[in-house]
Amino acid sequence: MTNETLLRCRQELHTHLTTELLPFWTARTADHINGGFITHFDEYGNDSGEDEKSLIAQTRSIYTYASAHRAVYGNGALAELARHGVEYLLAKMWDTEHGGFYWMTNRKGEVLNDQKIVYGQSFAIYCLSEYTLATGDPRGVDYAQKVFDLLQKYGADTCYGGYFEVFDRQWTLSGPGAAGGNRKTLDAHMHLMEAFTALYECTRQPIHRRKLLEVINLLVGKIMHPIYGTGVPQFWADWRVAPQIKFDVIWGWDRFTEDGVKREAEDNTSYGHNAEFAWLLIHALSILEIPHETYFNQLQKALSHAADYGIDWEFGGVFVEGSHGGKVYDREKEFWQQAEVLIGFLDAYRLFGDEKYWRAYENVHRFVLDKMVNHEAGEWWPLMTRQGVPIWTHMSHSWKINYHTVRSVVQSIRRLDKLLTTR
């Protein structure tokens, strides 16, 4: 790896971000009639018409615009887009009676699903904290703290630790099984870590620091595999490993069998989640001012597993998932895994200095820019064959939004800049 290679990768990402990716979203996403964001687009970037605005898509969009503005892109226009999203979120999705944000509205802002789902609440904390950090508007952190307090009151499991995840409007825990009330997940707790990191960065309050450290230690001590350091997807309330099933309100799982049980349900891990967990932990430790060496073994195991078993050296890119021991199960290429390993491998190379991480980064970098980006539209294909042929063709819906792609490019550029200044 040379400075010339670093500069080439940086320039390719910067060009993609400023001429394709951000323009795709800024040109079409704001709903100037009803407020908030339109989030469903076909392969050509046309509004595909679904009458819904999900909490996850609205909050992730706010985060995207606020964080990109904070990274000094957009000449102020991205801050205005973030504010536009916050206005809708607070006016239409906040439950003024019971607190917390509704899971789903239609485009006009009428509530379609009034459940309180911790995965969505975590992104509310994340985006609203980032919004205040980016703009100084105190409404963001005010509501972020309200949600944080609600999670401690209703969501925290005071017996076994961690957080329950699915509640009705009044914050009554949902039933077992597919209703989700008796399960805990890697996905929700990992995103609580990123949310509490942003909240603590914004407030510097001891309670936010303490709860962030609790989630980190839970992830490392209970959720990541004790031998391989890889993410285990689902647990029972007492942290015994549970077979991965489909919840009635789905998140973190786009594909499943008809009976709702995952193949290899008790021995599967996501290469993308493992890299995402690692770089989010590195970032959290930086905000906490704790040396990353404190969690050296955990970080190295998660990132090494993704590089050693997840990279497709024949066709490029990172596979979807496999066993903890290294066997690959799903060789397709999904957009968000590519996005997260780009950041993770750059952090791994920067911290550990092992060339395998640079080779893994460059492999995925090339796959993304040569195959995964739909250059005619400007966004990434959601799902491809192993060889790089699109399977799904929409550019956006409630789950495939700008959060992973824009964040990946912004954060990758930041890490490439760090590498350039330290060589």
Mean pLDDT of 95-100: 98
Closest CA to 120 of 176, 63, 60: 60
pLDDT bin (cut points 50, 70, 90) of residue 255 is: low
Mean pLDDT of 268-289: 96
pLDDT of 246: 83
Where in the chain are the domains?
Answer: 3-422
pLDDT tens track for 363-417: 999 999 999 999 999 999 999 999 999 999 999 998 899 999 999 999 999 999 9
How many percent of the chain have pLDDT more than 70?
96
Q: Hey, which CATH number is domain 3-422, 1.50.10.10, 2.60.40.10, 3.65.10.10, 1.20.1250.20?
A: 1.50.10.10
pLDDT of 132: 98
pLDDT of 244: 83
**N- to C-terminal Cα separation, the chain:** 11
pLDDT of 259: 47
Q: What is the pTM of this model?
A: 0.95
Residue 252 has pLDDT above 70, yes or no: no
pLDDT of 265: 57
pLDDT tens track for 150-201: 999 999 999 999 999 999 999 999 999 888 899 999 999 999 999 999 999 9
211-226 burial, b at 16+ Cβ within 10 Å, e below that, comes to bbbbbbebbbebbbbe
Relative orientation angle of helices 402-422 and 3-16, to the nearest 10 degrees: 150
